[in-house]
């Protein structure tokens, strides 16, 4: 053999080894339409519209239509909703220190205002037991609850025994899917917003095997894209997805809020005001002039969140000019052991998810945030924990805080599924995500 043949053989052999290794370590994500870390050419081969797979979804080996059922959220009953809420309260947050306080009303507010109903995919496990009810329930009049007669036809006995088996479903995992919009006004000319899905509340029963969530994700994607083939966005914290390029990656910091702090006065003509739903156009105007890329829920959903204090939006204004805007979410979380934070009904934790600075002075922007925090404590004086995501212009606010004083810090990332943008991952400072 010539030397170039040896070289070709070695390259081919190594390629096969790498391929097998990837398939072994990333057995789930390597089969998914995502931007893989090892896929060096996909960045140049992405379709113009960003959709990885434009054809209808295919049934893959991870689809599980027996255990996973997808339904429209607006069609579930109140009793089913209560079961979902109880499951989220017990399993969405794995930490023993944090209590998830989501209620049925809060969940309704989060799922309201959409043009198309959000969906909920539930992973059921089934318990099989013998029904001891002696009530006849067979159309032939045979008492299927009593012991089978020895003289009865064996085939009939088998049917009677099968009819006694009761299948009881129990929730093992769930996830919710809503529609959101990705805006990128940095292009010339500006493009229309891209409609994608958002996967929210992805969780399995505590202490479940990590692989149990894979059929839930795969089946949910199939059921949703079967009717509307779009990409999706999802968030992962602490333990990030392996083998996937994120849209953005950032740090999240947790601070204890002092019940009282020295509030510096604002300069004359500078005010901080809470933006109400009737003035939501201010949000869109500010975001379009910020030069950032941003992801927002539907406008009527944002209105629902603002009206029910699930989302707080404040503006820093000089006369009628917007100098800054701040987005704060009620997390429905309660940190146990934080002094002064009553359990209440909505938790003691808020989260600064995004902010946009449109003033030259960092100091004024930080001062505006201090007045926003003061206003939030007036709305609910039991807020004791503040989460700050280092995304958009939140880094300016974090620069005024000592990151070492945060009692908790973790890494987080947003990922795109069946959708990609050339240049990922992006700097989190250039993005604002309010979903």
In Å, how far from its chain's centre is CA 142? Answer: 51
| Residue pLDDT, tens place only, 215-265 | 999 999 999 988 888 899 999 998 888 888 999 999 999 998 887 777 888
**Contact (Cβ atoms closer than 8 angstroms) between residue 310 and residue 103:** no
Tell me what percent of the residues of the chain surpass a pLDDT of 90. Answer: 39
**Which pair of tokens denotes residue 302?**
């944002």
Determine how many CB atoms are found less than 10 A away from the CB of residue 189: 5
CA distance 274 to 241: 37
Per residue in 259-287, pLDDT tens? 777 788 888 888 999 998 888 888 888 88
DSSP string, 181-216: EEEETTSSSPPPPEEEEEEEEEEE-TT--GGGHHHH
What's the CATH superfamily of 251-434? Gcn5-related N-acetyltransferase (GNAT) (3.40.630.30)
The pLDDT score that the predictor gives to residue 139 is: 45
Residue 140 has pLDDT above 50, yes or no: no
- What pLDDT does residue 144 have? 46
Q: What is the pLDDT of residue 310?
A: 93
- Residue 281: in which H helix or E strand, if any? helix 281-288
Alpha-carbon distance 288 to 340, whole Å?
Answer: 40
- Residue among 163, 200, 205, 158 at smallest CA distance from 179: 200
Task: Write down the pLDDT at residue 410.
Answer: 92
CA dist 185 and 191 (Å) reads 7
What percentage of the chain has pLDDT greater than the value 70? Answer: 80
Report the pLDDT value the prediction gives residue 13, as an integer from 0 to 100: 63
pLDDT at 405 over 50: yes
Tokens matching residue 207: 């202490």
Average pLDDT in the 157-173 region? Answer: 72
> Residue 333 CB: number of other CB atoms within 10 A?
21
| Residue 100 CB neighbours (<10 A) | 19
pLDDT for res 148: 52
3 state SS for 104-164: HHHHHHHCCCCCCCCEEEEEEEEEEEECCCCCCCCCCCCCCCCCCCCCCCHHHHHHHHHHC
What confidence score (pLDDT) does residue 94 get? Answer: 81
Question: Does pLDDT of 330 surpass 70?
Answer: yes
Alpha carbons within 13 angstroms on the beta-carbon side of residue 228 total: 14
Q: What pLDDT does 407 receive?
A: 87
Confidence tier at 151 by pLDDT (50, 70, 90): low
- The per-residue pLDDT for 34 is 86
pLDDT tier at 357, thresholds 50, 70, 90: very high
Residue 320 is given by DSSP the state T
**Residue 131 predicted with pLDDT over 80:** no
Per-residue pLDDT at 335: 84
Asked if residue 344 has pLDDT above 60, the reply is: no
Is 59 in a helix, a strand, or coil?
A: coil
What does the block give as tokens for 341?
């934070």
Domain extent listing, the chain: 251-434
Look over the chain and give the mean of its residue pLDDT values, rounded to a whole number.
83
For residue 210, what pLDDT is reported? 72
174-227 confidence digits (pLDDT tens)? 999 999 999 876 554 556 788 999 999 999 888 777 777 889 999 999 999 888
pLDDT of residue 150: 54
Tell me the HSE value of 251 on the side-chain side, using a 13 A CA sphere: 9
pLDDT of residue 327: 96
More confident residue, 27 or 68: 68
pLDDT higher for 106 or 126? 106
The model's pLDDT over 389-399, given as tens digits with 9 standing for 90+, comes to 999 999 999 99
Residue 160: pLDDT over 50:
yes
What are the pLDDT digits (tens) for 281-309? 888 888 878 888 999 999 999 999 999 99
**Mean per-residue pLDDT for 370-385?**
90
Q: What is the pTM of this model?
A: 0.84
């Amino acid at each position: 053999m010539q030397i170039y043949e040896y070289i070709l053989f070695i390259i081919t052999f190594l390629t096969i080894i790498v391929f097998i290794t990837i398939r072994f370590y990333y057995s789930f994500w390597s089969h998914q339409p995502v931007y893989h870390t090892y896929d060096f050419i996909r960045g140049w081969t992405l379709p113009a519209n960003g959709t990885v797979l434009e054809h209808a979804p295919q049934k893959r080996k991870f689809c599980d239509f027996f255990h996973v059922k997808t339904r429209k959220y607006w069609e579930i009953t109140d009793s089913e909703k209560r079961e979902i809420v109880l499951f989220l309260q017990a399993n969405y947050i794995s930490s023993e220190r944090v209590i998830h306080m989501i209620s049925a009303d809060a969940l309704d507010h989060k799922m309201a205002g959409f043009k198309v109903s959000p969906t909920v995919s539930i992973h059921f496990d089934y318990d099989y037991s013998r029904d001891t009810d002696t009530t006849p329930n067979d159309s032939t009049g045979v008492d299927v609850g009593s012991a089978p007669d020895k003289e009865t036809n064996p085939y009939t006995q088998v049917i009677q025994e099968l009819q006694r088996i009761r299948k009881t479903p129990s929730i093992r995992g769930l996830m919710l899917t809503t529609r959101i919009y990705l805006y990128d006004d940095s292009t010339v000319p500006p493009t229309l917003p891209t409609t994608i899905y958002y996967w929210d509340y992805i969780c399995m029963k505590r202490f479940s095997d990590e692989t149990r969530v894979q059929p839930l994700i795969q089946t949910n994607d199939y059921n949703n894209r079967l009717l509307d083939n779009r990409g999706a966005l999802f968030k992962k914290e602490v333990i990030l997805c392996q083998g996937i390029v994120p849209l953005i990656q950032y740090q999240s910091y947790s601070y204890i809020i002092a019940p009282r702090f020295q509030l510096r006065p604002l300069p004359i003509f500078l005010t901080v005001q809470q933006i109400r739903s009737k003035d939501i156009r201010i949000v869109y105007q500010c975001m379009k002039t910020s030069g950032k890329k941003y992801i927002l829920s539907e406008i009527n959903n944002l209105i629902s969140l603002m009206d029910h204090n699930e989302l707080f939006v404040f503006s820093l204004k000089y006369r009628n000019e917007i100098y800054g805007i701040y987005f704060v979410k009620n997390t429905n979380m309660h940190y146990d052991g934080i002094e002064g934070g009553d359990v209440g009904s909505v938790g003691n934790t808020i989260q600064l998810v995004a902010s946009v600075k449109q003033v030259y002075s960092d100091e004024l922007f930080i001062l505006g945030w201090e007045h926003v925090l003061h206003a939030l404590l007036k709305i609910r004086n039991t807020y004791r924990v503040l989460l700050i995501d280092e995304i958009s212009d939140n880094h300016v606010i974090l620069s005024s805080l000592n990151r070492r004083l945060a009692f908790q810090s973790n890494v987080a990332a947003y990922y795109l599924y069946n959708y990609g943008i050339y240049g990922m991952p992006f700097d989190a400072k250039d993005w604002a995500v309010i979903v």
